[in-house]
Structure 1
Amino acid sequence: MSRALRDRRGVSAVAFAITFAVLAPMSLGLFDVYQANEQHGKLQDALDAATLYAARSSATDNPTINSIGSKALAANLQLVPGATLTSSSFTLVNNNTQVQAQAAVQLSAFSPMAGHSPVQVSSEVTRNGNNIEVAMVLDNTGSMAGSPLSSLQSAANQLIDLVVSNTQTPFYSKIAVVPYSNAVNVGAYAATVRGVPITAPSPIAAPCIDLPGCTKMKFTTASGSPPTFNVSSCVSERTGAQAFTDASYNGAPVGWVYPAADNPCIGATIQPLSSNKTTLHNMIGTLTAGGSTAGHIGVAWGWYMLSPNWGGLFPSGSQGAAYGTPNTLKVVILMTDGAFNTAYCKGAISNPSSATDGSSGGSNEHAACASPNGDSFTQAQSLCSAMKAAPNNVIIYTVGFLHGGADPQAQAILANCATDAAHAYLPTTGAALQVAFQAIAADLNKLRISH
Structure 2
Amino acid sequence: MWGHGGFWQAIDRFARHRGGNFAVVFGITASALVLGVGFAVDTVQLMNAKSALRAAVDAAVTSTARSITIGDITEEDAPDTVRAFLSANSTGGLLAYDEIVLDRLTIDDTAKTVEAEAHVDVSLYFPLFGMPNTRRVSNIGAAIYSDRHIEVAMMLDVTGSMGGQKIKDLKKAAQSAVEALLAGNKNPNTPRVRVAIVPYAEAVNTGKLADTVFVEQKNGPDLPPSIATPVSATTHPDNCATERKMQDGSADFSDDAPDTIRIVRRNNKDEQYYAKVNRDDRVGTCPQAGLVPLTADKDALLAAIEGFSANGVTAGGIAAQWGYYMLSPKWRSAISSAGAGDGPADINPKKVGKVAILMTDGAFNTAFAGVPVSKDKNNQPQNDQGQKSRSYAESICGNMKRDGIVVFTIGFALPNSESSQARSVLRNCASNDTSSMKHFYDVSTGPELDAAFKDIVANTEQLALTK
- What TM-score, normalized by structure 1, do the two folds share? 0.62
- Check the 8 A contact 1:53/1:69 in 2, yes or no: no
- Check the 8 A contact 1:235/1:255 in 2, yes or no: yes
Which of 406, 410, 417 pairs up with 2:422?
A: 410
| Residue 200 of structure 2: aligned partner | 180
- Check the 8 A contact 2:367/2:388 in 1, yes or no: yes
* Cα 1:74/1:138, change in 2 over 3 Å: same
SS of the counterpart of 2:253? coil
In 1, Cα distance between equivalents of 2:382 and 2:459: 46
In 2, Cα distance between equivalents of 1:368 and 1:404: 23
Count of paired positions: 321
- C-alpha displacement at 1:279, in angstroms? 0.8
Moved more, 323-332 or 144-153: 323-332
Counting only pairs closer than 5 Å after superposition, residues 48-447 of structure 1 correspond to structure 2 as 51-52=60-61, 54-56=63-65, 73=86, 85=98, 127-164=145-182, 165-168=184-187, 172-194=192-214, 208-211=218-221, 231-240=237-246, 243-250=252-259, 251-259=274-282, 263-315=284-336, 317-324=341-348, 326-345=350-369, 363-367=377-381, 375-389=388-402, 392-402=403-413, 404-405=415-416, 407-421=419-433, 422-447=438-463
Q: Deviations over 1:94-130 (max 9, x none)?
A: xxxxx9xxxxxxxxxxxxxxxxxxxxxxxxx995342
- Check the 8 A contact 1:344/1:370 in 2, yes or no: no
SS of the counterpart of 2:151? strand
Q: Deviations over 1:60-97 (max 9, x none)?
A: 999xxxxx9689726999xxxxx96399xxxxxxxxxx
- Check the 8 A contact 1:60/1:445 in 2, yes or no: no
Letter in 2 for 1:394: I
SS of the counterpart of 1:154? helix
- Check the 8 A contact 2:243/2:252 in 1, yes or no: yes
* Cα 1:340/1:72, change in 2 over 3 Å: same
The percentage of counterpart residues that share the same residue type is: 33
In 1, Cα distance between equivalents of 2:58 and 2:430: 39
Letter in 1 for 2:241: V
* Cα 1:84/1:232, change in 2 over 3 Å: closer
SS of the counterpart of 1:426? strand
In 2, Cα distance between equivalents of 1:410 and 1:59: 40
Moved more, 163-172 or 244-253: 163-172
In 1, Cα distance between equivalents of 2:390 and 2:383: 18
Unaligned runs of 5+ in 1: 1-46, 63-67, 78-82, 88-98, 100-124, 198-206, 215-229, 353-361
SS of the counterpart of 1:85? coil
- Check the 8 A contact 2:213/2:277 in 1, yes or no: yes
In 2, Cα distance between equivalents of 1:449 and 1:332: 18
- Check the 8 A contact 1:231/1:257 in 2, yes or no: no
| Residue 31 of structure 2: aligned partner | none
* Cα 1:335/1:84, change in 2 over 3 Å: closer
- C-alpha displacement at 1:51, in angstroms? 4.9
- C-alpha displacement at 1:56, in angstroms? 3.1
Q: Deviations over 1:126-178 (max 9, x none)?
A: 95342000000000000000110110110001111111133148761000000
Over aligned residues, Cα RMSD in angstroms?
Answer: 4.1
SS of the counterpart of 2:449? helix
- C-alpha displacement at 1:249, in angstroms? 1.5
* Cα 1:375/1:84, change in 2 over 3 Å: closer
- Check the 8 A contact 1:212/1:256 in 2, yes or no: no
- C-alpha displacement at 1:349, in angstroms? 8.4
In 2, Cα distance between equivalents of 1:291 and 1:248: 27
- Check the 8 A contact 1:351/1:369 in 2, yes or no: no
SS of the counterpart of 2:213? helix
- Check the 8 A contact 1:350/1:366 in 2, yes or no: no
Letter in 2 for 1:156: A
In 2, Cα distance between equivalents of 1:140 and 1:153: 10
* Cα 1:50/1:400, change in 2 over 3 Å: closer
- Check the 8 A contact 2:294/2:341 in 1, yes or no: yes
* Cα 1:70/1:349, change in 2 over 3 Å: farther
- Check the 8 A contact 2:372/2:382 in 1, yes or no: no
- Check the 8 A contact 1:130/1:327 in 2, yes or no: yes
Q: Deviations over 1:382-434 (max 9, x none)?
A: 11111101xx1110000000254471110001000000241110011111000
- Check the 8 A contact 1:58/1:446 in 2, yes or no: no
Letter in 1 for 2:405: V
In 1, Cα distance between equivalents of 2:190 and 2:64: 15
Q: Deviations over 1:173-221 (max 9, x none)?
A: 00000000001011332233325x7xxxxxxxxx74254699xxxxxxx
* Cα 1:317/1:50, change in 2 over 3 Å: same
Letter in 2 for 1:407: S
Letter in 1 for 2:201: S
In 2, Cα distance between equivalents of 1:378 and 1:153: 28
- Check the 8 A contact 2:245/2:369 in 1, yes or no: no
- Check the 8 A contact 1:132/1:173 in 2, yes or no: yes
* Cα 1:212/1:448, change in 2 over 3 Å: same
Counting only pairs closer than 5 Å after superposition, residues 32-43 of structure 1 correspond to structure 2 as none
In 1, Cα distance between equivalents of 2:205 and 2:372: 15
- What TM-score, normalized by structure 2, do the two folds share? 0.60
